[in-house]
Amino acid sequence: MQNQLTTYLSAGYPGLAVVSSEEARAEAEIASVCTSLKRRLHAWSSTEGLVDTKEGRVTNCSDPLELFQLLEGMFNAKEPRHVVLLRDLQLHLDQTDPPLIRRMKDILRLAKVGGHAIILLGCRLKLPPELEHEITTVDFSLPDANQLRTVLDGILKSAKIKSLDEAVREGAIQSALGLTTMEAENAFALSVVETGGIDHKVIAREKARTLKRNGLVEVVEATTCLDDIGGLGLLKDWLVRRSGAFSASAKAYGLPAPKGLLIVGIPGTGKSLTAKATASAFGLPLLRLDMGRVFGGIVGQSEANLRAVIQTAEAISPCVLWIDEIEKGFSGSSSSGSTDGGTSSRVFGSFLSWMQEKNKPVFVVATANDVSKLPPEFLRKGRFDEMFFVDLPDAQERAQIWDIVIARHGRKPTEFDTVVLAQMCELYTGAEIEAVFVDALHEAYADGREPKPSDILEATEHMIPLAQLMDGQIAALRHWAKGRARLAASRGKQGRRNTRRIDSN
């Protein structure tokens, strides 16, 4: 944040906002920037009033209107140049109080003329439209490894732990990346209480819980590997060939970190499975983002939510960020001006810029079933390294899926003729093959025996494959993918490194 803040203050931006729940760390960084720019820092809260941080002088004023009156007096003079930090002022602005908003605009104008600035600080930022264009948000990253090392040292000192193995220390720091200082401190302390020392597993578990509670991204344990996917040979091969691209030697070689992958296809064909297996293949942590939640919750929070997601993913990087059914999040962006005041378009624009410009190694795996809902800008080159289309599995792939599904349910694939089973399941997706086998298992269990091919045959009689119900949509999807997306499976005719794109329905 310090560089960005320095630039904005030097350029004379009068209104800034820092969105963070880490008040103490944000304030320390703001103070350090003010010192280096020789600005006089004041801090206000409704409980403490206005504090001149240089002289320690406190002026009582709990009411924002009173505060603005004081600021007017200060900002009328050009020297010294003041920076006023306003804690939680946005909560007052939330109430859309017309005189307060007017006063704030006057103050910003005065600050601009005199080279002063105000900085709003709080864990959320919802401004009335009158102020939205007057305030610039400054990014405040989560603590990096060095900052977390200081937090860990503090905990070790208070727990009277004198020495810690370097590998254990680094494991703890890596596990804590993505947490705020307070959350990391809690996780380290919990590890001491639970284990009497520092255990990265406890910290990783706490991080997973904390992120889940925060509700936007979730840490997913990557237990799936590429061998758990039947078919999709070209896609798996593409992933294998990029699996070393996040290593130090790849960086030294001058290889840019891959940006990400868009996997489009028929529901139940293994897209989510591939997203999970990507993390295992790359040996990176996996984060799952629920786009619906970015747009849910308090109105006006979507932009802050997206920023929080990016901050978390970048703090944890290198990592894989899986965005499931991405079209659900961004589908309204083109018509958003008329429906949600432009929020979706703005969030969508921020996401695209991040995808284009990100320099932290966050590999995005986005999956989509319905491309007609995706805005065209999304599919332009440069956002993703590649787009793959996953079609229905052919007979050979279905046989592979049968092998995997049977083994996944603790049976020996050699006890079944999976080639025949594959023939029985024409037009089935992987998910439908699994559903049929689970149905057969239930029937066999109820009769107190192991499943037989006849159970599977019977189960197929109750199954109408999605491909029959959605043949129109599937044809449209294939048509869309033609010339745009790379085929995920070789269909038996293609070589290992085939780059064929779909050329027929």
53 with 154: CB under 8 angstroms? no
Rounded Cα distance between 425 and 436, Å, is 9
Q: Name every residue whose Cβ is closer than 8 Å to that of residue 53 and which is 6 or more positions away in sequence.
A: 31, 41, 42, 43
Least spacing, CB of residue 455 vs ligand ATP, in Å:
19
Q: Which is nearer to ligand ATP, 323 or 347 (CB)?
A: 323
Is residue 273 near ligand ATP by the rule CB under 6 A? yes
Token pair listed for 450: 């192991």
Q: Which is nearer to ligand ATP, 199 or 397 (CB)?
A: 397
Token pair listed for 360: 């932290």
The DSSP code for 477 is H
Select from 20, 90, 180, 269 the one that contacts ligand ATP (CB under 6 A): 269
Is residue 286 near ligand ATP by the rule CB under 6 A? no
CA-based max dimension of the chain: 90
Select from 43, 118, 264, 404 the one that contacts ligand ATP (CB under 6 A): 404
Q: Which is nearer to ligand ATP, 434 or 455 (CB)?
A: 434
Residue corresponding to tokens 């078919």: 231
Q: Which is nearer to ligand ATP, 114 or 231 (CB)?
A: 231
Residue corresponding to tokens 């984060």: 287
Quick check: helix, strand or coil at residue 474?
A: helix
Closest CA to 386 of 259, 483, 478: 259
Which residue stretch of 1-9, 227-235, 283-291, 354-362 sits at the interface with ligand ATP (rule: CB under 6 A)?
227-235
Is residue 15 near ligand ATP by the rule CB under 6 A? no
Select from 122, 332, 375, 430 the one that contacts ligand ATP (CB under 6 A): 430
Q: Which is nearer to ligand ATP, 42 or 478 (CB)?
A: 478
Select from 270, 285, 300, 465 the one that contacts ligand ATP (CB under 6 A): 270
Which residue stretch of 177-185, 253-261, 271-279, 381-389 sits at the interface with ligand ATP (rule: CB under 6 A)?
271-279
Which residue stretch of 80-88, 235-243, 270-278, 380-388 sits at the interface with ligand ATP (rule: CB under 6 A)?
270-278
Least spacing, CB of residue 136 vs ligand ATP, in Å:
38
Is residue 231 near ligand ATP by the rule CB under 6 A? yes
Is residue 280 near ligand ATP by the rule CB under 6 A? no
Positions 432 through 451 that interact with ligand ATP (CB under 6 A): 434
216 with 389: CB under 8 angstroms? no
Position of minimal CB gap to ligand ATP: 430
Helices 181-195 & 200-214, crossing angle to 10 degrees? Answer: 140
Q: Which is nearer to ligand ATP, 150 or 414 (CB)?
A: 414
Q: Is 402 exposed, middle or buried (0-12, 13-18, 19+ CB in 10 A)?
A: buried
Q: Which is nearer to ligand ATP, 114 or 270 (CB)?
A: 270
327 with 369: CB under 8 angstroms? yes
Positions 317 through 376 that interact with ligand ATP (CB under 6 A): 367, 369
Closest CA to 320 of 224, 388, 234, 209: 224
Which residue stretch of 4-12, 148-156, 229-237, 496-504 sits at the interface with ligand ATP (rule: CB under 6 A)?
229-237
Rounded Cα distance between 21 and 214, Å, is 12
- DSSP-assigned states of every residue in 342-379: THHHHHHHHHHHHHHH--S-EEEEEEES-GGGS-GGGG
Interface positions with ligand ATP (CB under 6 A): 229-232, 267-273, 367, 369, 401, 404, 430-431, 434
